[in-house]
Structure 1
């Protein structure tokens, strides 16, 4: 979410299924006033949710952003979805920052990973 250029370049590790993934795809508006600060706050806040597992983010040069957040169970995902500051950020996003977005939530039934020998891997949390 916040300054992804400084984040380690490694995907969130594979977890033992089942767990949930929320796929948030966005196209942002030109005016992003206040977005970075709110984004950083949301990234800090989601880490406080019991059952939050991590997040992957990618941005295309054309402006499509994709954030995938992982949660151990549906209760953790619901807690994040209904968190008061997150709800306020969602409303501001619709009013100011997003030209369009989609949200897909899926139950992960299979998960695996690969790391080339000698390459540091960000261990799975949670």
Structure 2
């Protein structure tokens, strides 16, 4: 996902283009990591002093609903990042310090389900690995 694609999707779904929405999308493109609403609010306050928490949450919710952003929960707080461009099944390793995220293709659920729940029909799952990236370990 990129800013142009996200803006096109908003327009196709009948949502108004606003400078705030575009700026939010640019922040996600620039940061390329999971961000909390609080972090986004702090970044937006530079250009839009007094931007409301409601505006941030409403737009984050809309972006997630439209599939522009994906969500996870880190340390008890919901966080957002651009949805991965790949349509193949994959998972993520996520740095708990900086939020940097990398994807990997191997799915441990296939073997786990085969061994432990062979008659269970898995319809979906989410697998994330948390830790500290090389840069944050220094």
TM-score, normalised on structure 2? 0.25
Give the TM-score normalised by the residue count of structure 1.
0.27
- Bigger Rg, which one: 2
More helix by share: 2
Question: Greater RCO between the two (CA within 8 Å, min separation 6)?
Answer: 1
